[in-house]
Structure 1
Amino acid sequence: METTELAVHTGSRAVTDLTAEVTDFCAGRGDGLVHVFAPHATAGLALLETGAGSDDDLVAALGDLLPRDDRWRHRHGSPGHGADHVLPALISPSLSVPVLDGRPALGTWQSVVLVDTNGDNPDRTVRLSFLPG
């Protein structure tokens, strides 16, 4: 298995597109699986259409599901930070994508995205692992 780590600076973005980095990692590797993992307690990964409003819709839906108020028992950090710790139960911190002839076999509108609503920590690591098939 071959693995690399990406340093991702999210800034104020809750959704960060990683498709280009995943595609570059898979280039020349043949057939297999690429596994993407965010080793963080407050971030997840998803396959999502970006640039057409779906990323904003996801952020709005997460705001409805996980409001940033004082209901959370986990209370350190910015107001509502407890919601960030629930996010990975809804959006998994890992995903796998088939790789065919060195390219992720994504659907036409699918992008690999990091979902991170935790503005307290804008610097993330994402691990990419290739499992040859």
Structure 2
Amino acid sequence: MIRTIEIQLPHHERGYHLVTAEIFNRLPQLPEVGLLHLFIKHTSAALTINENADPDVRNDFASFFDRIVPDGAPYFRHVYEGDDDMSAHIKASLLGASLTIPIKGGRPNLGTWQGIYLCEFRNDGGSRRITATIVG
């Protein structure tokens, strides 16, 4: 069985947002065993899995990525949509557009302290679309 659905996440402000429940609550019944593939359909936001308990993780992500890829760097040429344009694209490429999560017992099989983050790199990114593909 292969099934694909589209998930629309509402606008999230710039930052790193735990969206595990938002995504999982929109999934259909999952097979007993399989894979869940999530793909964000944007070039200025990313998905990643990381620690879901300490909110400082979000601040540390922002501090790190804003330092290595600053908005408005004078060497960026692709700035048609503002100072956060090219930096958002680079950050999205560094973290990636997709995740694959095993399914076990009819549930996504994340670790105890793992959560899915929407990494929003634009000051006004709008809503974001994710394609979820379920294989089982």
Q: Distance in 2 between matches of 1:116 and 1:80?
A: 11
More deviation in 60-69 or 90-99? 60-69
Partner Cα distance (1:11, 1:21) in 2 = 12
> Is the CA contact (8 Å cut-off) linking 2:14 and 2:124 kept in structure 1?
no
Offset, 1:45: 0.8
TM-score, length basis structure 1: 0.89
Correspondence for 1:92: 96
Structure 2: gaps spanning 5 or more residues: none
TM-score computed with the length of structure 2 as normaliser: 0.87
Q: What is the aligned-residue RMSD (CA, Å)?
A: 1.7
- Counting matched residue pairs gives 132
Contact 1:15 1:115 in 2 (8 A): yes
1:17 partnered with 2:21: no
SS of equivalent residue, structure 1 residue 6: strand
Give the distance between the partners of 1:69 and 1:13, measured in 2 at CA.
16
String of CA shifts for 1:47-87, please: whole Å, max 9, x gaps. 01135111111111110111012321111112232101112
Structure 1 counterpart of 2:36, which letter? Answer: V
| Displacement of 1:17 | 1.9
Q: Gaps (5+ residues) in structure 1?
A: none
Q: In 2, Cα distance between the equivalents of 1:9 and 1:119?
A: 14
Percent identity of paired positions between Structure 1 and Structure 2: 26
Cα distance between partner residues in 2 of 1:54 and 1:92: 18
The separation in 1 between residues aligned to 2:14 and 2:84, in whole angstroms, is: 17
